Amino acid sequence: MNVWIAIALTAVGCYLAKLLGLLVPAGALERPLVQRLAALLPVALLAALTAQQTFGAGTHLVVDARGAGLAAAAVALVLRAPFLVVVGVAVVVTAGVRALG
């Protein structure tokens, strides 16, 4: 029964968050600071998610083949490779490091 309570509370929380977003006045959303922060927020969240998924294992910090793949992807991005090439480089490097170690 606890699972259903958690599901119901999550659904209500999501609905309230959506409602809160709709109640924000349009003037507040048109401020330059809010617009700059809204443009940067997805980048920050994606960077945090990438770091957590790459270097985290439960509650421990782990440096393994995923770090090498991320570094290779970063180099490919600096070299302005297309996105599919970046993903392919990351996959190949990660698999290669795992195969070697």
* DSSP assigned state of 61: E
Mean pLDDT, residues 73-91: 97
What is the tens place of the pLDDT at every residue in 6-25?
A: 999 999 999 999 999 899 99
How many percent of the chain have pLDDT more than 70? 99
Q: Which residue carries 């294992």 as its tokens?
A: 57
Mean pLDDT, residues 36-57: 93
Q: Are 22 and 28 in contact (CB under 8 A)?
A: no
| 56 Cβ contact list (under 8 Å, min separation 6) | 62
Residue 1 pLDDT greater than 90, yes or no? no
Average pLDDT of the chain is: 94
Residue 55 pLDDT greater than 90, yes or no? yes
- For the entire predicted model, the pTM comes to 0.66
In this structure, what token pair is assigned to residue 54?
């790459």
How confident is the model at residue 58, as a pLDDT?
85
